[in-house]
A and B are shown apart, each in its own frame.
Chain A
Amino acid sequence: MSISISKLRAVCAAIALLFAVAHPAAAQLSFKPTAEAVQEDQLLKALKEGDKISGRISIPDPMASSLIQPAGREWRDFQRSKLPVIGAVAIIGMFALLAVFLMIRGRIRVDHGFAGIKILRFASFERFTHWLTASCFIILALSGLNISFGRVLILPLFGPEAFSTLTAWGKIAHNYLAFPFMLGLVMMFLIWIKDNIPSKLDLEWIKQGGGILANGKHPPARRFNAGQKGIFWIVIIGGALMSLSGWYLLFPYIPANVTELQFWTVIHAVIAMLFVGVMLAHIYIGSVGMEGAFDAMGTGEVDLNWAKEHHSLWVEEEQAKGRAPDTGSSRPMPAE
């Protein structure tokens, strides 16, 4: 043995001394593992609106690192308490309004009766674009409303299995018809934007209430009157917002987190309700509400007297271009 006993003793004494010196220091530190521990209460209190408590996670799914997101509760309340109210006001409210309007004003007739002469209002491509967008819209609206309210309105009628199958198909329809709808929207924008730029004439039209409130009053209008321009811009802007918000729902991995997804569903759902309400009015005036209006999108040809009453300046333009029968006067012809 090369290490002497005395050397060993010296080392031991040194270690003992170290302990003797170190120990009071350790006692002073009195390390408490909990002193700085995170507290759920404090974290919850520090949360900002829509925020969440998150941390590090060892599984490769970044969304899983969110631990608690109390905002889920608020989104639940939106879906189950607020959205039904918004939907009821916008949709049932609009039905009620239109019913009252029909009762008071009745169907808007062609004041001078039909002339029996037709004038082309919408070419086949325009009608195709309109009906492409419209048919997609109707199915999107029905399948979308089914997502929002089906479980309250339709589930009790169909039972869980049939309703679930219906909703699954509705969801597929909603997801895929979104694309032809967006295409139709772009086409509409391109072919009709030139006739939908607001002008001074529109102010006059609005001042006279579009002439729809009283018989025999018809403010002048070009191809589209202020009301129709309004519908155009509501469709374009509303449709764009539906498409943007719908896009995020369609591809839920684009938004970074759940809070953003909640935000886009709220936008999508609220605008959907308002949009459907406005479109109901549009459908009403284009069918039941006004005599002769449906032909414009049906056959594409409208009666000359209808055109002169509602779009006097447009008829003059068409006549000047030789695209409409020249009756010599811009005044509607007496009925045959």
Chain B
Amino acid sequence: MARVKFLCDADRCIECNACVTACKNEHEVPWGINRRRVVTINDGKPGERSVSMACMHCTDAPCAAVCPVSCFYTTADAVVLHSKDLCIGCGYCFYACPFGAPQYPKVGNFGSRGKMDKCTYCAGGPEADSTPAEYAKYGANRLAEGKLPICAEMCSTKSLLAGDGAIIAEIYKERVMKRGYGSGMWGWKTAYSDSPTG
């Protein structure tokens, strides 16, 4: 099985937010929740870069480590998923996540945040694959259909890459070699300790 990852080649990202829109549409993500977002660093200054970020499906994921009810699990492809039936909406995964990935349906005082929602790498949840029950809670299960995440598939500049970590890292490195520059594999050091397979 592959170790799948996301990689955003920030030197190609044009901050069009197509990935964000595609994600929202594909999974019918509710208003107020953004599984993916585009952050612009040094906005308006020379050398600004935009990075499309969602859950990185970390190695040894911090969210899973701190969840008080231990509702996370990692698939054979190393996708980090969770069960909304078990989640108690405590917010701990959001505190631990280095990428601000966990989202909540409610602005929650009194711990009334509701069930946590985050990027599933288009891989659904614990319910049976591609069922209406799975779709209602987690959105589409493209992985089960043999497709990659919609955000990366939609990316017009092919900035956002999804797939086997070793392969997309190779593609990125080739690009950097050819064009002679690269602002980095954003988030990889933090999510995977920079290892393409880890």
Contacts and interface: CB of A to CB of B under 8 A. Distances in A.
A40 B186 contact: yes
Nearest to B42: A38
Interface stretch (A62-70, A132-140, A200-208): A62-70
Contact of B186 (A54, A59, A68, A265): A68
A39 B190 contact: no
A38 B48 contact: yes
Interface in B66-122: 66-71, 83, 85-88, 90-92, 94-100, 107-111
Interface string A308-321: 00000000000000
B42 A73 contact: no
Given A68-B187, A79-B65, A252-B91, A164 B96 contact: no
A65 B90 CA distance: 22
Contacts of B70: 151, 155, 160
A9 B94 CA distance: 68
Contacts of B65: 76, 79-80
Contacts of B100: 63-64, 66-67, 69, 258
Contacts of A36: 45-47
A40 B85 contact: no
B55 interface: no
B196 interface: no
A44 interface: yes
A103 interface: no
A171 to B, nearest CB: 6
A275 B67 CA distance: 23
A167 B69 contact: yes
B165 to A, nearest CB: 17
A61 interface: yes
Contacts of A252: 91, 108-109
Interface of B: 10-11, 15, 17, 20, 32, 34, 37-43, 45-51, 53, 62, 65-71, 83, 85-88, 90-92, 94-100, 107-111, 180-181, 183-187, 189-190
14 contacts: A37-B181, A37-B183, A61-B34, A65-B39, A66-B39, A67-B51, A73-B96, A76-B66, A80-B66, A150-B68, A160-B83, A252-B91, A253-B109, A258-B100
Interface of A: 34-41, 43-44, 53-59, 61, 63-73, 75-76, 79-80, 146-148, 150-151, 155, 160-161, 163-164, 167-168, 171-172, 175-176, 250-253, 258, 261-262, 265
